[in-house]
Amino acid sequence: MLLFPANVMRPRRVDDHFAPEAEAARELDIPYAVVDHDALASGAVDHAVAKVPGGEEAVYRGWMLTSSAYAAFENALAARGTTLRTTAAQYRAAHELPGWYSGLAPLTPTAEWTVGAERAPFDEACRRLGNGAAVLRDYTKSMKHYWHEAMYIPSLTDTDAAWRVASRFVELRADDFAGGFVLRRFEPFTGAEVRTWWRDGVCRLIGAHPDTPTAAPADDLDLTEITPLVKALALPFVTIDLARHDDGRWRVVELGDGQVSDRPTTMPATELVAVLA
């Protein structure tokens, strides 16, 4: 069974953003139900899952949830006899960078992170990462649309300037700030990112990134090196965004839980839903 966010104005219907996937599920004879995302996010989980039938295995396809909200979601469904294919522990491992970084460390920019948003641990993380430039995010998200003011750090050794970037990041993320700061060594990438979709450690789909939906993936994308690393993570359903380094190597930009990863508009909904069936 697939679980989609409900339309806010018509709560018995699927949110418009996910309606094509619900239609694809209908065409493929896959049952689905709606959940109240706002109620999930606010902690009213019993109300959120009131329309979900029991006795099923379920995959969520919806808006992002915090790891704690997902855990409450899992518990509320379990009380109704429904099991999420991705457990709360697996969701956290995929959703938060510290959960997946070590498994993909050979193929992704070097990272250091803190717990919380205090200055002293941030300065220490800068020191551990060393010299050069870095990019900043928290455990779940960057502020890439604020590149110069809240993401890019030109010099890790200029700690005051780096802290100004970090402070602006916290200001912009506000209550959505997740976990702590993550500093990643800056690497020069070329071309558009590619979003790959993995189920049970096997790449099932390769497509454009949602930010560049018309950019076709490169023909020479080679997943030979990354595949055993993804399989070892033992995560049921994830996306991995890849970009080409200017030296020609393919590098991992991000791993995310596939349940809350956006589908590019150029990917037919039936292709993705068939992967989940």
- For 22-55, write each residue's pLDDT tens digit: 999 999 999 999 999 999 999 999 999 999 999 8
- Asked if residues 252 and 108 have their Cβ atoms less than 8 Å apart, the reply is yes
The model carries a pTM of: 0.96
Residues 6+ apart with CB under 8 A from 264: 195, 207, 208, 209, 210, 213
Residue 277 has pLDDT above 90, yes or no: no
Are 193 and 180 part of one and the same domain? no
CB 137 within 8 A of CB 184: yes
Q: Tell me, yes or no, whether 78 and 19 share the same domain.
A: yes
- Shared domain for 6 and 74, answered yes or no, is yes
In which band, very low, low, confident or very high, does the pLDDT at 58 lie, cut at 50, 70 and 90?
A: very high
78 in the same domain as 192:
no
Q: Is the pLDDT of residue 259 over 90?
A: yes
Co-location of 19 and 53 in the same domain: yes
pLDDT over 90 at 80, yes or no: yes
Residue 60: its pLDDT value, please? 98
Is there a domain that residue 276 lies in? no
- pLDDT tens column, 118-134: 999 999 999 999 999 99
pLDDT at 65 over 90: yes
Domain boundary among 152, 185, 218: 185
Same domain, 39 and 138: no
Q: Looking at the domain assignment, is residue 223 inside a domain?
A: yes
> pLDDT grade, residue 224 (50/70/90)?
very high
How far apart, in whole angstroms, are the C-alpha atoms of residue 257 and residue 239? 6
Note whether residue 254 is domain-resident. yes
Check whether residue 34 and residue 68 sit in a common domain.
Answer: yes
Polymer length in residues for the chain: 277
Q: What is the mean pLDDT of the chain?
A: 97
The whole domain housing 52 covers 2-85
Q: In total, how many domains does the chain have?
A: 3
In a shared domain, residues 229 and 258: yes
Q: Compute how many other C-beta atoms are within 10 angstroms of the C-beta atom of residue 96.
A: 23
Average pLDDT (187-191) is 96
Query: Does position 1 have pLDDT exceeding 90, yes or no?
Result: yes
Are 101 and 204 in a shared domain? yes
152, part of any domain? yes
Q: Are residues 133 and 246 located together in one domain of the fold? A: no
